[in-house]
Structure 1
Amino acid sequence: MNTPSNIISEHYRISPKRADIYLEIRKYVGEGAADYFHDACYVLEKKENYRAHIHIIAHLLREIDSFVCETLLTKEVVESFRGAKNDHRKKVEAIFEKYSIKHGNYVKDIWLNFATDDSYKPVEYAHRNDLKPARQRIGDLDIEDWFDQFCDLLEFIIEIIKNNFFKFVQNIHSSDSTIVEQCLSSIPNGSEQETYLFNYLIDNKINKVDILNKKGFFDYWNTNSDIIRTSYLIIFANSSASAIVGIILDKNVCESENAWVQCNLIEAVKAIPITTARIDALIQKVIDSSDNFISEYSPVVQKQAELIKHLAKNNKADFAFALAMKLFDLVKDEKLSPEFDHYLYGEMFKKIVPALSLKLRA
């Protein structure tokens, strides 16, 4: 079985320290940064097979450095530096200020070197050196020493996340909106941290839909945290109905290409009281957005069938009929792939048609 602990050492040797860093990056920063670190370790181990190994490793470390910078800062801060001169240095300095990292800290000096010193900056070594041969050293450092310094930096960054982020989340319990806003403003800009936050909210049944919406936690979609965020919407779809109707209608969540997100949206619609303002527009949008997921048998189809029954039983027979016709037209489509299971659709219609027909006759 390929688990994170053996994937990285399956094809080459790696020190226990680097293996631990890989696992910690994967857990606390994200799979993207972990993938870059994985490949950097691989190229370093196999460097005798590469004439330009320093350029490859430098490019990977540059991506990791950018990744962790954007993870440690909030979306607002990251966006404020976008396109600015020396934006990377500004991000690093903003991290020092945010987490009260003092001057004289060994790792702080390393990070400043990586951000500002042309002799150490990964970006300088990721590109060719005019028309000269590929570089074989990093300034006065061997590539192994340079990489070890970067590993020290990564260990430090991981500790920042572990020692700060989890403390911030505890404040979400507060009834003081100012404290909660400060908490949410401190959440790092990463899907791993966002997933942890929403899992925490779900596990503790904490309804902060309004303030989460205000702070922009439902503004960005098609990320790794989409499923857990829409799961959160289901839980509070009844008690925060108006806010959640607004989130689904006004944000781009319905554009998600994830079938399970579409399933969650349908579940949220079912949980929202049928008398809620703009419910008709919401139903129509969710029906339209799930069209792309009924070309084959998928979990969305079963959820659509449940939605048809729900609508038919709650005086929304017109919507139920419209959705049923879409599914019925699909069954008749001769262009469906051989994997399409007509029997499953037939069984589904046996269940939903009675509820629908009763309402249509009423």
Structure 2
Amino acid sequence: MENQDRCPIQFRFADPRQQRIYEELQLVGPGLAAFFRDACWLMQDERALESTSHLVAHLLREIESALRSVLRPIATEAPDHNADSRSQKEQIRVILQALGIPEVTPEARAWFELVERLHGFAHRRGLEAPRPPAEVHELWLRAQILLKVVLAGMRDRFLNWFPILDDLLTRPHPTNHDLKRLANEVPSNPVTRGYFFDRLDKPEWLKPLWGKGFFRHPPAPVQDEENGWFPVPRPAPALADGQAQTRSCGLHHPRGGRH
């Protein structure tokens, strides 16, 4: 995987379930996949750092909050401008209901427990020594149970995000709210990004997108056997590769061609 190649630490997943979660998180966004991978590395060698428990808790908090944001469109048919004012538990209840997950299931209970306890585990206890990794071990296991089920629910509802992209594409001048929706409420993978940028025909979007860092990490160069190196991949192969990745996880691009 691309993120694995960039990481200076050589790491192999010891648990196939963790490997699968990592691969599915890549369809949500490369950042979440990297956070999970680093947490796996830390927990696989718990004695590598004294602060392992705190770092893992921080990484899990980032993953959990990002999932709540990206799952918001599944839980509400229309843009929910009041979602940020809801408590974390209220947001989770709405998402669980939309995913068809009863609140009494282990994964639902794990989600409520994570938002309740991760804050305390992530932060220091005064000037005391860091928490031992054993203290966060149970939460780490529960988080994986949660991720497996929630990511499966996202995969089954992958097409739900394309109406958001279609709506954004109709807007001639993006607002901060539009940019926030694109950055946080739509999975960031080659299919969704390819779908959006292949159809974006309003130059007024480019400067705001640049300002929000959308072009900060361009695709890696692709070698052409006859002509040498190109600075960026050509769009068609890049999108085709993304579609292939998505199909391999049971997802399909909703439709081809332009509007």
The two structures share one fold, judged by TM-score above 0.5: yes
Q: Distance in 1 between matches of 2:145 and 2:8?
A: 20
C-alpha contact (below 8 Å) 1:25/1:158 kept by paired residues = yes
Q: Distance in 1 between matches of 2:6 and 2:125?
A: 34
What runs of 5+ residues in structure 1 fail to find an aligned partner?
Answer: 173-183, 188-193, 195-207, 235-246, 262-297, 300-362
Paired amino acid for 2:45: K
Q: Distance in 2 between matches of 1:211 and 1:3?
A: 28
| Offset of residue 113 of structure 1 | 1.1
- Closer/same/farther in 2, CA of residues 100 and 213 from structure 1, 3 Å limit: farther
Q: Which residue of 2 aligns with 1:124?
A: 120
C-alpha contact (below 8 Å) 1:8/1:38 kept by paired residues = no
Q: Distance in 2 between matches of 1:59 and 1:156?
A: 21
3-state SS of paired residue (1:96): helix
| Offset of residue 8 of structure 1 | 8.0
Superposed CA offset, 1:95-134 (max 9, x none): 1233232232121111111123xxxx21111101123321
Q: Which residue of 2 aligns with 1:253?
A: 206
Identity of aligned residues (%): 19
C-alpha contact (below 8 Å) 2:114/2:139 kept by paired residues = no
What runs of 5+ residues in structure 2 fail to find an aligned partner?
Answer: 216-230, 233-259
Paired amino acid for 1:129: R
Q: Which residue of 2 aligns with 1:22?
A: 22
C-alpha contact (below 8 Å) 1:110/1:149 kept by paired residues = yes
- Closer/same/farther in 2, CA of residues 135 and 210 from structure 1, 3 Å limit: closer
Higher relative contact order (CA 8 A, sep 6+): 2
TM (norm. structure 1) is 0.46
Q: Distance in 2 between matches of 1:66 and 1:72?
A: 10
Superposed CA offset, 1:240-298 (max 9, x none): xxxxxxx545xx4344439x98xxxxxxxxxxxxxxxxxxxxxxxxxxxxxxxxxxxx9
Q: Which of the two has greater helix per residue? A: 1
3-state SS of paired residue (2:112): helix
| Offset of residue 229 of structure 1 | 2.1
C-alpha contact (below 8 Å) 2:39/2:59 kept by paired residues = yes
Paired amino acid for 2:10: H
- Closer/same/farther in 2, CA of residues 143 and 255 from structure 1, 3 Å limit: closer
Q: Which residue of 2 aligns with 1:324?
A: none
Paired amino acid for 2:125: N
Answering whether residue 142 of structure 2 is matched by residue 149 of structure 1, we say yes
Among candidates 213, 220, 227, match of residue 179 of structure 2: 220
- Closer/same/farther in 2, CA of residues 7 and 158 from structure 1, 3 Å limit: farther
- Closer/same/farther in 2, CA of residues 159 and 31 from structure 1, 3 Å limit: same
Q: Distance in 2 between matches of 1:17 and 1:93?
A: 26
Superposed CA offset, 1:11-64 (max 9, x none): 23422211111111112x111111111111111122212112100110010001
Number of residue pairs matched? 200
C-alpha contact (below 8 Å) 1:5/1:23 kept by paired residues = no
Superposed CA offset, 1:172-215 (max 9, x none): 8xxxxxxxxxxx3xx6xxxxxx5xxxxxxxxxxxxx6799549x
Q: Which residue of 2 aligns with 1:65?
A: 64
Q: Which residue of 2 aligns with 1:134?
A: 130
Paired amino acid for 1:46: D
Q: Distance in 1 between matches of 2:41 and 2:141?
A: 14
Paired amino acid for 1:76: P
Paired amino acid for 1:80: N
TM (norm. structure 2) is 0.62
Paired amino acid for 2:147: L
Q: How does 1:204-283 map to 2 (within 5 A)?
A: 212-213=170-171, 219-220=178-179, 228-234=195-201, 248-249=203-204, 252-257=205-210
C-alpha contact (below 8 Å) 2:22/2:36 kept by paired residues = yes
| Offset of residue 5 of structure 1 | 7.5
Q: Distance in 1 between matches of 2:42 and 2:171?
A: 43
Query: What's the C-alpha RMSD, in Å, of the aligned pairs?
Result: 3.8
Paired amino acid for 1:43: L
